[in-house]
Amino acid sequence: MAELTRSYEKYFRQNRLPHLWCPGCGNGIAMKAIVQAIEKQGWTQDNTVIVSGIGCSSRASGYMDFDTLHTAHGRAIPFATGIKLARPELNVVVITGDGDCCAIGGNHFIHGCRRNVDLTVVLFNNAIYGMTGGQASPMTPLGGKATTTPYGSVDRPFDPCHLAKAAGATFVARSTAFHVQHMTDMIAQGMASRGFSFIETQVQCPTSYGRRNKMPSPAEMLKWLQQHAVLKPAWDRLDREKKKAYILDHKFPIGVLHQAKRPELDYDAAYDQVIERAQGVKA
């Protein structure tokens, strides 16, 4: 029955669905979490802009019924910076992937965190380059098989949440495609937080990652996320030894990992002061 269509469905361009992602891809779950977070925040389709880079994740913008911008590989954050500074009243959400954000766009990611423009950046981390057929990304785990690491990856991955926090992001959170409501909540909190918010969503890529790494079933990949994600409060209660064991077992914390204690001035607000000083209103 058409009436069963959920309220969040109005945020999709119905004529563009079904999306192009492979069967069982986690990107669809993360995209739904974003529109549900937008709904929760009360943002409208007219005052929200979705900006994406290039890659599987970044095809999301085409399905979302807002003003949407599918930029060049790695460059979503600079484009979003321009939009937000030009029109501060618009809510700007960036959708990016692990290759887009952390490899080719790594410098923009770091400086986006530092500059603290009021953006919500959602990373769809599937640990692989899916669009080009399964090459290793900066998030491919050590030993992980990809078309460019046929004998297992020897490149150490990094933790984008640690990076975001160190570079100055004022809100940093992580969730997974198994924890859908939690993911929605993390994104909504990021949207509510003024300044540069970063949310890593771990999503499964059964086609390009799972099949090469003994996890061909999408449901199995989701169960792996369920078993390895530990809620932040529980993670914090772990003693040193236990935490070490968890890390060796590839377990990781999910939740709000960092939030600036005192609300720092975001770039837009700070630049308003620049304008006032330039115009001689304030000394």
Q: For other proteins, which is the closer residue by CB, 19 or 243?
A: 19
- Tell me the CA distances in angstroms from 44 to 160, 192, 224, one per residue in order: 29, 14, 35
User: Nearest Cα to 102, choosing from 83, 82, 128, 120?
Assistant: 128
Question: Does 279 engage in binding with other proteins (CB under 8 A)?
Answer: yes
Which segment (45-53, 128-136, 228-236, 254-262) binds other proteins by CB under 8 A? 45-53
Residue from 222, 229, 256, 257 touching other proteins (CB under 8 A): that is 222
User: Nearest Cα to 212, choosing from 134, 281, 97, 274?
Assistant: 134
Contact characters 226-245, other proteins, x per CB under 8 A: --------------------
Q: For other proteins, which is the closer residue by CB, 12 or 246?
A: 12
Which parts of 80-139 interact with other proteins (CB under 8 A)? 80-87, 89-90, 107-108, 110-111
Burial of residue 259 (number of CB atoms within 10 Å: 0-12, 13-18, 19+): middle
Which segment (132-140, 193-201, 213-221, 248-256) binds other proteins by CB under 8 A? 213-221
Which segment (128-136, 141-149, 190-198, 274-282) binds other proteins by CB under 8 A? 274-282
Residue from 39, 40, 41, 72 touching other proteins (CB under 8 A): that is 72
Residue 14 neighbours by CB under 8 Å, 6+ apart? none
Give the span between the Cα atoms of 208 and 31, in whole angstroms: 19
Question: Does 7 engage in binding with other proteins (CB under 8 A)?
Answer: no
Question: Does 167 engage in binding with other proteins (CB under 8 A)?
Answer: no
Number of residues engaging other proteins in binding (CB under 8 A): 69
Which segment (3-11, 134-142, 152-160, 238-246) binds other proteins by CB under 8 A? 3-11
Tell me which residue has tokens 């080009």.
132
Burial of residue 244 (number of CB atoms within 10 Å: 0-12, 13-18, 19+): exposed
Burial of residue 90 (number of CB atoms within 10 Å: 0-12, 13-18, 19+): middle
Q: For other proteins, which is the closer residue by CB, 28 or 255?
A: 28
Residue from 10, 16, 237, 244 touching other proteins (CB under 8 A): that is 16
Which segment (134-142, 145-153, 244-252, 269-277) binds other proteins by CB under 8 A? 269-277
Locate 5 and state its tokens.
């269509």
Q: Where does this chain bind other proteins (CB under 8 A)?
A: 1, 4-6, 9, 12, 16-19, 21-29, 32, 45-47, 49, 51, 61-62, 65-72, 75, 77-87, 89-90, 107-108, 110-111, 177-178, 180-181, 206, 217-219, 222-223, 271, 274-275, 277-279
